[in-house]
Amino acid sequence: MQFANDLERKAFDKLVKNLPTLIEQKCHGHDELYGHKLLPGEYYEETIAHALVYKFCKAYKFEYEAAASALCSTLNWRKEFDPLSAAFSERHDETLTKIGVLTKYPEEQANRKVVTWNLYGTLAKQTHVFKDINKFLRYRIGLMERSIGLLDFDDESNNYVAQVHDYDGVSMWRMDPQIKKCTKQVIAVFQEHYPELLSAKFFINVPSLLTWVYDVVMKFVSEDTRKKFVVLNDGTKLGQYLPSAPSILYGGKSKETLQAQNVLEVRPTDYTLHLFQQKVSADVE
Ligand code: HEM
């Protein structure tokens, strides 16, 4: 964790100190973030809890009130939405699970070691999956949580994910309203509840004729996030940015296909398993 000056350090220390009261009084006691426990006790790991609090401080430029309020809003949202359930216990539409891939590249440059691939191009003709926004959201947030499960918050070279959107096969002259709605919602949730977790986002196989879609979607995206975007018309150029990607289709150095690289099993944290157990016990009673 790096602080540019004393004021930043003070804002961070204040948030850590006030966390027990904030969580109790304003977050309905929900002390779980991305599967980790934020308050001391069993399952608590101080370095991880601090790394997560730091992310909120950094995202809100170390302004205490803004960071505290954003963190509370995220904890309340998590209590309600239950993203861990979306990640580890729910079943999603197979059409969707087929187009979401997670890869882990230990040799890749800092913070590009975990990559989420969204092969959205293949959904261009399967728009039924966007009809129920909540279903789509639960799938996409589940994938986000599982990608976070592959990070290591004790390692500053692996505490952000990179994402790829492959739009191969997309051709459209107007944006399907349901796709637009889903896109808008996912972007909003990521911006509010997953700060400082994205290192870079690559949009590949984007036909030149569709750069207008980029302009439409950009209206929902914050300035800071925009800076992380790279648009590539030719998908095989991705290897220049992610050398561990498959050579086939993506121009990387790996002889494996993307499907062979797909990490299918992500282990939930011990705290997540404990929370699941608690829920089961409460349901039985
Ligand atoms: C974000 C789907 C076409 C640019 C998204 C998101 C979805 C989505 C669901 C939400 C963020 C996420 O899942 O990570 C689709 C589908 C498309 C399509 C189904 C067509 C079938 C395009 C095209 C472009 C584009 C042609 C042009 C480059 C973007 C941008 C974002 C985005 C810039 C914002 C990403 C972010 O804030 O993280 N898209 N998209 N999309 N899409 Fe697309």
- The protein residue whose alpha carbon is closest to atom 4 in ligand 1 is 214
- Look at residue 281 in the predicted model and tell me its pLDDT: 85
Ligand 1 center to 138 CA (angstroms): 17
Ligand 1 center to 183 CA (angstroms): 6
> Has residue 172 got a pLDDT over 80?
no
198-209 residue pLDDT tens: 999 999 999 888
User: Ligand 1: which atom is nearest the Cα of residue 191?
Assistant: 37
Ligand 1 center to 267 CA (angstroms): 28
Out of 102, 174, 183, give the residue to mutate to test ligand 1, the one with the largest number of ligand atoms within 8 Å of its CB.
Answer: 183
| DSSP structure string for 109-154 | STT-SEEEEE-GGGGTT-GGGGSSHHHHHHHHHHHHHHHHTT--TT
Ligand 1 center to 271 CA (angstroms): 33
132-150 residue pLDDT tens: 999 999 999 999 999 999 9
Cα–Cα distance, 133 to 185 (Å, whole number): 8
14-38 residue pLDDT tens: 999 999 999 999 999 999 999 999 9
pLDDT above 90 covers a percentage of the chain that reads 86
- The protein residue whose alpha carbon is closest to atom 1 in ligand 1 is 183
Cα Rg, the chain, nearest whole Å: 19
Q: Name the architecture of domain 93-261.
A: 3-Layer(aba) Sandwich (3.40)
Cα–Cα distance, 46 to 30 (Å, whole number): 17
Pairing of strands 198-204, 161-166: parallel
- Where does the pLDDT of residue 76 fall: very low under 50, low under 70, confident under 90, or very high at 90 and above? very high
User: Ligand 1: which atom is nearest the Cα of residue 120?
Assistant: 19
Contacts of 75 by beta carbon, 8 Å cutoff, 6+ apart: 23, 27, 30, 31, 32, 33
User: Ligand 1: which atom is nearest the Cα of residue 136?
Assistant: 9
- The protein residue whose alpha carbon is closest to atom 42 in ligand 1 is 217
Reduced to 3 states, what is the DSSP secondary structure of residue 31?
coil
How far out from the chain centre does Cα 223 lie?
A: 18
Out of 117, 120, 140, 180, give the residue to mutate to test ligand 1, the one with the largest number of ligand atoms within 8 Å of its CB.
Answer: 120
Residues with CB under 6 A from ligand 1: 118, 120, 123-124, 140, 163, 165, 167, 170, 179, 182-183, 186-187, 190, 201, 203, 206, 210, 213-214, 217-218, 221, 225, 231
Enter the pTM of the model: 0.95
Mean of pLDDT values over 102-109: 97
Cα–Cα distance, 254 to 245 (Å, whole number): 6
User: Ligand 1: which atom is nearest the Cα of residue 203?
Assistant: 28
Provide CATH 3.40.525.10 ranges for the chain: 93-261
Cα–Cα distance, 262 to 167 (Å, whole number): 18
133, 139, 144, 148 alpha-carbon torsion, rounded to 10°: 150
User: Ligand 1: which atom is nearest the Cα of residue 163?
Assistant: 14
- The protein residue whose alpha carbon is closest to atom 38 in ligand 1 is 187
